[in-house]
Every structure is written in structure tokens, then in C-alpha cells.
Structure 1
Amino acid sequence: MSTVSYYADDLTEARVWYAQFLGVDAYFERSTPDGMLAYVEFRIGDYQAELGLVNRRFEVTPSDGPAGQILYWAVDDLDATFARLQELGAKIHDEPQVRGPGFVTASVVDPFGNILGIMTNTHYMAIAEQNRRD
């Protein structure tokens, strides 16, 4: 697991709620050019996994019910993995998107209707490499 994203209509309120729940504030945030808060991120757990909160405006598959979370699995070669998933019958959910330097995401819907996220993530790779050395 690399990153999990949750969506919220009021990202400021969600940030406060998660900070209270987790006992730490988000370490990162990104706003749109017009100043709207678009994304905040917490690092949690033994591997400092990323919990991202995303403005619902950017949700790929809007839902009226509890849904929308995408768990991203770290992969070494995003393009090859994305192609292989499609070869195995998965349907494109979200084309590869550069989210920032060293961070690229994509997702597919598996043949069973589940959303499967994949990601290249420099933070995850650095932590994993450090743990391999320890």
C-alpha cells in the first residue's frame, strides 16, 4: 500500500477532523490556482503511509453513498503494470496522472467491479529502501 485517498466536500473540515482523530496535522497541502484547497496529506503508520484528503470536486467516480476511496499500490513500472491490468481484463478508471514530482497515479476497475489504484511514489520507495537497509 502506498497511498489511500478519501474525498470530502469541505476539505478544511475534513482536515481538522482527521488531525483530531490521528493526533497529527497534515504535513502537506495543495491548492488550485484560484486558492481553493484541493488536497491535504497526512503520513501515518510504521511506513509513514500517505492518507490523502481530496476535494470532492476532483473525484473520478462521484457517489451519493459511502464510496470513492482508492487504495494505491506502489509499483516499479506504472505504465507496464497499467497495460498488464488491461490485458487481464481490467477497464480504465483513471488514466495515468502526474500528481507532482515523483508521484503518478492510475486506476482500473477489475473484472469484479473493484477499483484498483497503482502508483509510482518516491516517498514510499525511499521508506521501503531505508527499511531494507535496516
Structure 2
Amino acid sequence: MLRGMATLNLWADDLEAASAWYTAVLGREPYYVVPGGYVEFRVGDHEHELGIIARSYSPHPQPDAPGGAVVNWHVGDVRSSFARLLELGATEYEGVVERGNGEGFVTAAVVDPFGNVLGIMENPHYVRMLTRADDVR
């Protein structure tokens, strides 16, 4: 039934500031913009969609504290990526944790300046999947 992530949406009170922050994090401008309401970025090896929605567009009240699901984005080096996110103004949600008994799974999570949890992960399955996809090409 679920075939893959289509779009991950985050909320922000200040859409312009969120767009600028994620532009710095991702190293690219949003490819789709609805002025004052929504911006969308293409992210990573599969060009997944990361949307930022102006919180004023939400049909439901949004929580004041970060929480809910944590999406972990694959990165090459969790420690340096975590440090960079903190330098850019994120705050620690969960520090660097080695998981899986030394099998190469490392995670961390931050709260972006707009109250969203952003997870990062070193995941050997992701790397193997990319290698297999490259072999097919």
C-alpha cells in the first residue's frame, strides 16, 4: 500500500525565514513557491519533496512543543551534519546515538528554528540501496 514517501510537510510561523534556513541547510533554493503559503524543495538522491507550510494555513491547531513522527534523512556523517545544523540555529532534540550494536546505524535529531523535529541518520541500508541502483544503471 505505501510505496514511498511523496512529500514531507513541516510547519513554520515565518515562512520566509524557514525558506531561507532550509535553503542554507540544503544548499539549494526551493523549486516551488506559493508566496506567503508554501515552499517546496527537492531533497537527496531521489529528489524527495520537503514542503514548508505557513502555520496560518493549518486547518488544525499545531502543538507548541516539537513532537510526533521523526523522519530521519540519510547523511554521510551524522556528527558533522548535527554540528552544522546546530551552527545554523537548530537546537538539540536527541544527541548522536549509535544504534544497532555497531552495525553502522547512527542517528541524531534537532528542532529547527520553527519547531519541527528534523532527524538525521547514517544508514548502511541506504548506502547499499544506492550502490545497487547505480549497478542497474
Instruction: Return the TM-score normalized by structure 1.
Output: 0.50
When normalised by structure 2's length, the TM-score is 0.48
- More strand, by proportion: 1
